[in-house]
Every structure is written in structure tokens, then in C-alpha cells.
Amino acid sequence: MATSRRAFLGVTVGAAASTMVRPLADAITLSGQDTGAGAVAPALVRVHAAPNQVVNSFDPDKALATSMDIQSRESINTIYTPENVKTCLSAGWGPISYRLHTPETIDYWHWNPKGSWSDEANQRGYFIGSAELGEPIRDSFGYSLPHRGCTHNGGTDRGYSRLTDGDPRTFWKSNPYLTQAFTHEDDALHPQWIILDLGEYFDVDAIRIDWCEPSAREYEVQYWVGADPMNWEEPALDSTGQGGEYLPVANQAMGNWVRFPKGFVHDGKGGSATLKLAENLIATRWVRVVMTRSSNQPGPHGNDDVRHRVGYAIYEVYLGRLENDGTFADLVKHAPDGRQQTATYCSSTDPWHTAEDLNPHGDQTGWDIFYTSGITNDLPALITVPLIYSVPEDASAMVAYLKKRGYPVSWVEMDEEADGQFYMPEDYATLYIQFADAIHKVDPALKLGGPVFQGINQDVSVWPDVRGNKSWFGRFYDYLKSHNRAGDLSFASFEIYPYDACTMKWDDLYRNRELTRKTLQAFRDDGLPASVPLMNTESNLSGSLSVWMSDIFSALWLADNVGSFFEEGGALYIHSPIEPSVIEHGCQGWAIWGNALWDRDARIIGYTAFYHASRMINNEWVTHHSGLHHLHSVDVKIKDSAGNDLVTSYAVRRPDGQWALLLVNKDRENAHPVRVTFAGHGQSDTFSGAVRMVTYGSEQYVWHGADATAHADPNLPPVDSSIDASAQTVFTLPKASVTILRGQVAELTV
């Protein structure tokens, strides 16, 4: 491919830079207010610079980070070489977050391959990793849960539910840690459920449940009326013919569960139970069985462990019609294949498993290579503790291991994406408390948080509780408060994946700031105090690969997303991922996920717009290892005919006394001239003396992603220059670009 390279930010550009700053009289002609003689008056960029107008303060070494996610075993061997670690860190991000993928694959994570089983003789049961130091941990894997009840969830494309697998020996079982034996609350406060999705509407009037033990003594059967309660749907067109937000919005609150006329059972006996649900057929697609009282009888795993006797278990479930002759006409497809079986979902899954359940698809980086390879940038890391598919003792053992090794931990996330696993907020909350107790016995000072919502841009909705409350986070936080445990939530975290990969378009940039505002405001509206920080612990344009991730669009989005996140009060921003990746086919073309492109032999062959934007944010807008930066709001009034803000800006007062403006020109067709003023101390001041100007946009980088030879051409680094600024200086923002202006403001230098 044809590319041209220069040293990154290593030269002062003469002729190229001169087109970006010019006297007012030479301003280029653009749409806007004409000043005569074909010139356009520059727009005013007004920084609210008074000391009492600080909207947020942050230290880049704690607030601007990246992440490492699951890899293949082969990738583990190539990523953690000194050369590739250096490449990863060169993007400029500070600390790192350890992302855990096993919750998405319904696996139990053996963070330490060495450990003990509750049934040691048979290498099965509940596993606890060893906290004792031994050989450094390089590789760690998940173990598929054999009592799984979800065919699909928010992340896995492998495996299948045991509820409709056609095997009378396998069964689903709920999580025993959600029962009175561990919650110390009545089981009815944590009802467990299963859902069948027939795929389309059928007329039904009967269900058959082949109960395992423990079975349900009290339960009811319901059908759903409303939009799809388990999956995401494309937004409907609004009155203007435009689509709504593309981010997944749960439909769980867009309808109601209705009990079948004869769907209540208060004296269940277990065994194989056939229940006539209604006298007349009812058309439905989704059916739910809600269980509130258990038999508390030992199941197939024996009577030696209380966890085998509590909760609920089902071998197989059937749904259909009861014919006049008494035969059961089953509409369920039974197969040990997630693509062929009737899909089912469940409220929780028992973390019981065996040594034979090793899942070889994906390697979670071992703790020792993670901390000793250099990828942590010698800074404390944010780590994730498995929760919904684990046991408290394993979490405390992992924390003990890290402490013995002396590995620094900044924050602890309590699992990942509980909403994507269809967990109810109260169930997650009671596990949160149990795991917090176990972890704080090892280290009372650790700061815990969650719930790590998957890719949200607004409040996550869930089926209403008895008070009609549909807010997932609101109910989770209410549970903590009602149990006097709100203090255990040291931060609230979530992921940002704002757009649908296949429908993404340039105009999505214009609504980015509003999405950011709604995301953070939703937590505050749900009652989260301002004293509890909000953290984006994983982010990218989309949860699926899109050609836009390698387009110049990605650089503009990243700059705008970082700036708006801190403007709205965010505390930690994590951009994902840090590791290089190969070209793959995604929606709308060929692209890569991250910052650096490598070939099939794991050799770095190029960098993306994400990479260059990252360096500008981390090396030009802010400076790591320098201390606290103070963010001030900025007014820019450059709009298109539809009222969209074409230019957004974010200003920081740096520890060295300089001001740095991050400006994003989202106009694909036009450059925009601007003048910059700083309003403070009762007057307006301007840059004075040398101003460093760094610009990166569509003139430096164009991605060509039509086929597997995808590449960027041109693929140039940002353009930097030094400008002797005055009150008359006009800075020109090139089309589709990110620009940083950094310098002194004489009257505001204190």
C-alpha cells in the first residue's frame, strides 16, 4: 500500500501549517457570516476561564486509561513481548483495566489454574483458586457451566441451554447464593425464573416441566405481552423519517408479564408436572416460569453441601397444547445446539462445574504476566472480580494472591455486564454484598464498584418491581441503601459502545455529546450521590466491528467522547482496546478494532486514526505524570442548517499554567476559522506568545476498507506548528479534524 510517514509530532511544519493560521483579513470563504470581499468572519471560541468556573478536575494518570481483554493463547505469546508492549503504551494512555470475558461466555474463571474443589476426589463442584504463591501465572481459562440455562446472552455465541437440550440427564440449576442460606432473606424476595422463546407466536395452553431437585413448591407461569423482552431491536423511525438511537435499549420494560388463568402452583410436588394453563388457547411467543419457594431437597450432586439443596433445578421443559385425548403437543425444539434448540433464558446459573468443562476458546491473561510485562505502565490497575458465575471465597483468594505478590490495585469492578446476563438488580446486589464481605476481610481498604453496564447511553430498564420501578441501577442502589451497604459502592461503572456497527453514519457524531450527558445523568437521576465517581471502564464506537472504527470518524469521536465525558462529570475514561489487531471484515467494510495494525505474523504494519487521536489527547491536550488538570466549559456557535454543532471544544488549565483547547471540527466538507478568547477576571483575554497547534484530520488520513487489502492512504501523522499568537490571530480548523491549541494566556496566568 502507498503510505508516507514522518516522525510523530517531531517537526515544525512550515508551508502546511501556514494554511491553518492566518490574519483575519485572509480568512478563507466558508458558509457563515460574510465580512466583505469574500471573507467569512471567524467564529468565536469562548472559554469560561474564571477559577470558579472549573467544571471538573482530573489527573491523567488516574483518569485516562486503556484496557486488556481476553486473547487467544497464541496472542498472549505475541502481545506481551517488549516490542509490542512498547507499541501499546506509545498510544499514551496511563493506567490499564483488566477486562473479564468469562461472564459473557457463561464460564467460571480459574484465575489460578491451581486450586481446590469442593469435591476434590472427583475434581468437581465449586472451585477456589489458590492464594499461595508458586509458578507465575501466564494463562488462565474459563470453565463452561454444565447447569447453564441461557441459550444466548449478551456475549456468547457458543454453548447451549440444558433446559431444551433433549437430554434427560442434564439440568439447569439456579445460583445457590441467591437463596436464604446466603442472603438471609426469604426466597420470595429473590424469585428465580426461566423463559422460553418460541421464536414466533403460537397458540398454547399447557406446559410440562420435568423437575430436578431441588424443585419449586410454589411457582407461576406467565406469558409476555409487548416488545421482545430479551433482545435488542432496531429503533423505529420518528416523525421526520429518521431513526432513533441505535444503542441497545432493553425492551424488558416495554410490556408486561401476564399470568395464565391457571398458571399458579402453590403445592408443587416435583417430578414430571403437566399443567393446563388456560381453557382457551392463548397466542404468545415468550413464556416465563417464576419460582418463589423451593423444596430444598438434595439434587443429583448429593446431600453433603447445602448448595446442592437450595434453589431450583429443571431437567427439561415443554410448551404447547394439551389435546382432547390428553396427549401433549410440544412446540419446543430440543437439541444440544444453541442454533437449533428453542431458546431459553434464566435468572441465574449454579457455578458448579468439573475439571472436564475447560473452555479452550480464549485465554484470560495470567495475573503475573499482566503485572510484570510492563503493560500496566507502572500504575495501579483496575481489576475485575467474577461474581455472577463464581463464589465469594474464590474472589477473596484472588485478592489475597495479588496482595502477596505486591501488585497495585486502584479499583475493583464487581463482575462485568450483569445486565447482559439478564440478572435482576436485587440478585446482583445481594451477591455484591456477599462478595464485598469476602474481599474486605482480605483488604478492607479496597474500593469496589459496578455494575459495569454493557454499552449504555441511557438508564437500563428492567421489568417493573412491585412499586413499578423499572430502573436497573435505581433498584440495585436502593437495595444497597436498604441494607445499609451503599458505602460499599465506591464507584459506578459502565461501558460505552454508543452506535450500531451496521447503521453507523457520520451524523452520529453530532449527537455524541447528548448521549454522553444522558449516560452520566441517568445514574444521578437514580439517586447516585455526586460524591460517588462515574467511570467508563471500556469503550469504543460499537460492540461489533465496523469500518467506521478505522475511519477518520473514529478520531473525531474519541476526542469528542473524552472531552464530553469529563465535561459531564466523569472520573475515569478507558478507551479499548490497547493491543494491535489484524484486518477483519466488519459491518460496512474491512477494519480493525484498535490502535495498531499487525499482519498475520504479528508484525506492526500501521497505525489507525484512534492511535493518533490517542496520542494527541494524552501528549498534547493533557500531560501524564504532571498532576491535576482543570476542565472549563467552552462556547462555540458553529452550526449547520439542521442546527447541529459542527465544532465542539474542551479546555483544560494544565499544571504547567498553560491552557490547552481540544477542538473537534465535525464538518466533512468545510474548514472553519475561529478566534479564541478566555473570559475571566471580568475581562476577555487571548493566547499570548507562542501557541503550539497540532491538527489531525481527513487531510492526513483516509481509510480504504472495501476489501481485505484495507489500508489508510494517506496515512500521515498530525501536523504541528508553533504560532506567535495575538488578539488578532485566527486559527483555521481543517475539515473533519481534531485540533489542539496550547499556550499561555497572559492575564490569566497566576
Rounded to an integer, the average pLDDT of 532-557 is 96
Contact 660/621 with Cβ under 8 angstroms? yes
| 635 membership: H or E segment, kind and range | strand 634-636
CATH of range 15-56+630-748; options 3.40.50.300, 2.40.10.120, 2.60.40.1180, 3.90.1150.200: 2.60.40.1180
Bridge-partner residues for 225, per DSSP? Answer: 256
Q: What is the 3-state secondary structure (H, E, C) of 300-365?
A: CCECCCHHHCCCCEEEEEEEEEECCCCCEEECCCCCCCCCCCCEEEECCCCCCEEHHHEEEEEEEE
> What pLDDT, on the 0 to 100 scale, is given for residue 233?
46
Query: In this model, does residue 10 exceed pLDDT 80?
Result: no
Query: In this model, does residue 126 exceed pLDDT 70?
Result: yes
Contact 733/667 with Cβ under 8 angstroms? no
Q: CA-to-CA distance for 316 and 394, rounded, in angstroms?
A: 31
Least confident of 6-10, 215-219, 306-310: 6-10
Closest Cα to residue 89, out of 377, 335, 381? 377
Contact 328/208 with Cβ under 8 angstroms? yes
DSSP state of 82: H
> What pLDDT, on the 0 to 100 scale, is given for residue 63?
98
Over the stretch 456-507, which tens digit does the pLDDT of each residue have? 767 788 999 989 999 999 999 999 999 999 999 999 999 999 999 999 999 9
* pLDDT confidence tier of residue 254, bands split at 50, 70 and 90: confident
Closest Cα to residue 718, out of 690, 742, 699, 691? 699
- The grid coordinates of residue 504 equal 453507523
Contact 360/140 with Cβ under 8 angstroms? no
Q: CA-to-CA distance for 549 and 552, rounded, in angstroms?
A: 8
The reply to whether omega before 577 is within 30° of 0 (cis) is yes
> What pLDDT, on the 0 to 100 scale, is given for residue 375?
97
| 479 membership: H or E segment, kind and range | helix 472-482
Burial of 112 (0-12, 13-18, 19+ CB in 10 A): buried
Q: State how far the alpha carbon of 671 is from the alpha carbons of 80, 344, 502, 621, 734, in Å.
A: 42, 53, 28, 21, 4
Looking at the chain, the whole-number percentage of residues with pLDDT higher than 70 is: 91
Burial of 7 (0-12, 13-18, 19+ CB in 10 A): exposed
- The grid coordinates of residue 747 equal 492575564
Least confident of 15-19, 178-182, 361-365, 491-495: 15-19
Q: State how far the alpha carbon of 648 is from the alpha carbons of 512, 556, 726, in Å.
A: 11, 10, 22
Closest Cα to residue 48, out of 38, 40, 56? 56
Over the stretch 364-411, which tens digit does the pLDDT of each residue have? 999 999 999 999 999 999 999 999 999 999 999 999 999 999 999 999
Residues whose CB is less than 8 angstroms from the CB of residue 541 and which lie 6 or more positions away in sequence, other chains included:
497, 498, 499, 501, 504, 548, 549, 553, 554, 557
Rounded to an integer, the average pLDDT of 240-249 is 37
Helix orientation angle between 425-442 and 472-482, rounded to the nearest 10 degrees: 50
The gap from C-alpha 334 to its chain's centroid, in whole angstroms, comes to 33
| 383 membership: H or E segment, kind and range | strand 381-385
Least confident of 118-127, 365-374, 411-420: 411-420
Q: Angle CA(169)–CA(175)–CA(176) in degrees, nearest 5? A: 100
Half-sphere exposure of 664 (CA within 13 A, CB side): 27
Q: State how far the alpha carbon of 447 is from the alpha carbons of 28, 129, 472, in Å.
A: 53, 22, 22
- At 32 the three-state DSSP class reads coil
Q: CA-to-CA distance for 122 and 112, rounded, in angstroms?
A: 19
Contact 666/512 with Cβ under 8 angstroms? no
Query: In this model, does residue 4 exceed pLDDT 60?
Result: no
Least confident of 23-27, 53-57, 667-671, 707-711: 23-27
Q: CA-to-CA distance for 628 and 56, rounded, in angstroms?
A: 10
Place of cell 457458543: 158
Kindly calculate the radius of gyration of the chain based on its CA atoms and give it in whole angstroms. Answer: 28
Q: Are strands 64-68 and 96-98 parallel, antiparallel or unpaired?
A: parallel
Closest Cα to residue 432, out of 685, 612, 190, 113? 190
* pLDDT confidence tier of residue 230, bands split at 50, 70 and 90: confident
Contact 140/366 with Cβ under 8 angstroms? yes
> What pLDDT, on the 0 to 100 scale, is given for residue 21?
41
> What pLDDT, on the 0 to 100 scale, is given for residue 35?
36
Q: What is the 3-state secondary structure (H, E, C) of 37-66?
A: CCEECCEEEEEECCHHHEEEEECHHHHEEE
Q: State how far the alpha carbon of 249 is from the alpha carbons of 344, 347, 523, in Å.
A: 20, 19, 16
Closest Cα to residue 568, out of 638, 512, 527, 620? 512
Looking at the chain, the whole-number percentage of residues with pLDDT higher than 90 is: 83
CATH of range 58-142+364-621; options 1.10.3720.10, 3.30.420.40, 3.30.70.330, 3.20.20.80: 3.20.20.80
Bridge-partner residues for 368, per DSSP? Answer: none
Contact 80/375 with Cβ under 8 angstroms? yes
Over the stretch 335-352, which tens digit does the pLDDT of each residue have? 999 999 999 999 999 999
* pLDDT confidence tier of residue 712, bands split at 50, 70 and 90: very high
Least confident of 7-16, 378-387, 536-545, 697-706: 7-16
- Amino acid, single-letter form, for residue 29: T
Rounded to an integer, the average pLDDT of 519-535 is 96
Query: In this model, does residue 240 exceed pLDDT 80?
Result: no
> What pLDDT, on the 0 to 100 scale, is given for residue 682?
63
Contact 294/312 with Cβ under 8 angstroms? yes
- Fold that domain 172-350 belongs to in CATH: Jelly Rolls (2.60.120)
Half-sphere exposure of 139 (CA within 13 A, CB side): 14
- At 633 the three-state DSSP class reads coil
Contact 140/112 with Cβ under 8 angstroms? yes
Closest Cα to residue 556, out of 734, 738, 712, 735? 738
Q: State how far the alpha carbon of 592 is from the alpha carbons of 360, 606, 613, 640, 738, in Å.
A: 24, 11, 16, 31, 21
- The grid coordinates of residue 276 equal 393446563
* pLDDT confidence tier of residue 618, bands split at 50, 70 and 90: very high
Q: Angle CA(383)–CA(384)–CA(386) in degrees, nearest 5? A: 150
> What pLDDT, on the 0 to 100 scale, is given for residue 39?
57
> What pLDDT, on the 0 to 100 scale, is given for residue 23?
34
Q: CA-to-CA distance for 282 and 344, rounded, in angstroms?
A: 20
Query: In this model, does residue 14 exceed pLDDT 90?
Result: no
Rounded to an integer, the average pLDDT of 300-307 is 96
The gap from C-alpha 94 to its chain's centroid, in whole angstroms, comes to 19
Domain boundaries, the chain: 15-56+630-748, 58-142+364-621, 172-350
| DSSP code per residue over 546-560 | BGGGGSHHHHHHHHH
Place of cell 453514519: 505
Rounded to an integer, the average pLDDT of 323-328 is 92
Contact 40/33 with Cβ under 8 angstroms? yes
* pLDDT confidence tier of residue 569, bands split at 50, 70 and 90: very high
The length of the chain, given as a count of residues: 750
> What pLDDT, on the 0 to 100 scale, is given for residue 16?
34
Place of cell 393446563: 276
> What pLDDT, on the 0 to 100 scale, is given for residue 232?
52
Query: In this model, does residue 187 exceed pLDDT 80?
Result: yes
> What pLDDT, on the 0 to 100 scale, is given for residue 41?
87
